[in-house]
């Protein structure tokens, strides 16, 4: 499958005729009125970067937060999954998709998995923010545990 076939498959799966465009001209879709997914087919002509802004960076305790983002990325990078990145003042989930590794039938499940991952990360980041607002220590908070907390 080539890149244009993959983009058509994404549009078909998402039931849209045309992608919207962001300020940089990248294709975008909005899911559940909350998750904005950008499809960048310009960075690499042979594949597609998909990304979703998740949350602003925390104003306080950025060092422990960024350390945990890096630790999490090591875990997920080894598995070829989406990674957390920092763009400006926001945490963004990104994943590279190589159309030559997918069949048309796998495109929809790949997008769904990315959306589920983005939604899960949004919840974890909101949990981090709410705990931080309560003045709780972030020392025991960990992204890889579903509760977000490491128990001794």
| CA angle (9, 13, 14) in 5-degree steps | 120
Under DSSP, the state recorded for 108 is H
Asked if the structure places residue 142 within a domain, the reply is no
- Give the range of the structural domain holding residue 72, as residue numbers without chain letter: 3-133
Q: Are 91 and 52 in contact (CB under 8 A)?
A: no
Asked if the structure places residue 121 within a domain, the reply is yes
The CATH number given to whatever domain includes residue 25 is 3.30.1460.10
In this predicted model, what pLDDT tens digit does every residue of 116-143 receive, in sequence order?
888 888 888 887 777 777 777 665 565 6
Asked if the structure places residue 118 within a domain, the reply is yes
Asked if the structure places residue 60 within a domain, the reply is yes
- pLDDT of res. 58: 80
Asked if the structure places residue 148 within a domain, the reply is no
Phi and psi of 136, rounded to 5°?
A: -75, 150
Q: 38: buried, middle or exposed (CB in 10 Å: 19+, 13-18, 0-12)?
A: buried
Asked if the structure places residue 39 within a domain, the reply is yes
pTM over cut 0.85: no
In this predicted model, what pLDDT tens digit does every residue of 36-76 receive, in sequence order?
888 776 666 677 888 899 988 887 778 877 887 887 777 66
- pLDDT of res. 74: 74
Average pLDDT over residues 23-45: 77
pLDDT exceeds 80 at position 15: yes
């Amino acid at each position: 499958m080539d890149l244009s076939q993959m983009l058509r498959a994404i549009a078909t799966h998402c039931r849209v005729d045309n992608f919207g465009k962001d300020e940089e001209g990248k294709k975008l879709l909005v899911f559940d009125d909350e998750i904005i997914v950008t499809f960048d087919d310009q960075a690499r002509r042979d594949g597609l970067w998909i990304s979703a802004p998740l949350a602003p960076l925390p104003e306080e305790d950025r060092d422990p937060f960024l350390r945990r983002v890096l630790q999490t990325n090591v875990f997920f990078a080894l598995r070829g999954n989406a990674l957390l990145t920092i763009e400006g003042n926001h945490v963004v989930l990104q994943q590279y998709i190589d159309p030559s590794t997918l069949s048309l039938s796998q495109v929809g499940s790949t997008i769904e998995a990315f959306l589920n991952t983005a939604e899960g990360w949004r919840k974890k980041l909101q949990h981090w923010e709410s705990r931080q607002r309560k003045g709780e220590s972030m020392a025991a908070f960990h992204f890889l545990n579903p509760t977000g907390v490491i128990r001794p």
